[in-house]
Amino acid sequence: MSAPLAAVLWDMDGTLLDSEKLWDIGVRELAAELGGVMTDELRHALIGASGPNALGILFAGLGVEPTPAALLEAGRFLEVRVTELMTGPIPWRPGAEDALSLVRAAGLPSGLVTNTKRSLTEYGLNTLGRGYFDVSVCGDEVAEGKPEPDVYLRAAELLGVDPKSCVAIEDSPTGAHAAQAAGCAVIVVPCEIAVPHAPGRVLRESLVGLTVDHLHAALRTRT
């Protein structure tokens, strides 16, 4: 018999907020700043990656030497630009606000689990509303970001629940891999790129119409 659903863990960019399009502007401008051109293949490789991993992928894809000074300057450029883009209201993904309200009304604990660093996540929380989340864990608060499971394991630890009793909501292959590596069941709502089917994953076109029964069913799929 499977354990009861203990918590719902939410990715942010591309899952709750349509903010991948803001990151797209930032990384394409960074690529130009580095003297390169962002291909669609390279852009897709960055989706869902943690900050350090994304910069490594970007430098390799552009053929730029990843010296510590160059990586530091690139990180600063990207943070400043994305901060500018995220200071206003950020568009929601379809059905996301209703889904958060549904989970809160059901009395289920919620955690925000993102690869985005804390300073930028706070802008996202300004749009989302902090009252929807009991905890939030960011990519710069753990040893390794997604696709490693650290952010999910930390969120479950803070909530005092077993990650195997959690359902994660994700939009990218990187995020889905991280959640499953932590032991969570996963509902995947692809945003910018396709996410392959795999055992323990439930794919949806959007969060519109999500119910608590869907969350319980996803947990049963994992087990």
User: According to the model, what pLDDT value does residue 85 have?
Assistant: 87
What average pLDDT does this structure show over 38-44?
A: 87
User: According to the model, what pLDDT value does residue 2 have?
Assistant: 58
pLDDT at 189 > cutoff 60: yes
pLDDT per position as a tens digit, 134-164: 999 999 999 999 999 999 999 999 999 999 9
User: According to the model, what pLDDT value does residue 223 have?
Assistant: 56
Edge-to-edge strand ranges of the sheet holding 166-170 = 135-137, 110-113, 7-10, 166-170, 185-188, 201-203
User: According to the model, what pLDDT value does residue 21 have?
Assistant: 84
Q: Which amino acid, residue 65? A: E
CA distances from 10 to 114, 164, 179 (A): 8, 15, 10
pLDDT at 1 > cutoff 50: no
Return the beta strands (E) in the chain as ranges.
7-10, 110-113, 135-137, 166-170, 185-188, 201-203
Task: Report the predicted TM-score, pTM, of the whole model to 2 decimal places.
Answer: 0.84
Residue 193 and residue 176 in contact, taking contact as beta carbons nearer than 8 Å: no
Cβ neighbors of 41 (< 8 A, separation 6 or more) are: none
> In the structure encoding, which two tokens stand for residue 201, read together?
């994953």
pLDDT per position as a tens digit, 194-223: 899 999 899 999 999 999 999 999 999 875
What average pLDDT does this structure show over 176-182?
A: 96
At residue 170, the 3 state secondary structure works out as: strand
pLDDT per position as a tens digit, 65-121: 999 999 999 999 988 998 888 887 899 999 999 999 999 999 999 999 999 989 989
Q: What is the CA radius of gyration of the chain?
A: 17
The single-letter DSSP state of residue 132 is G
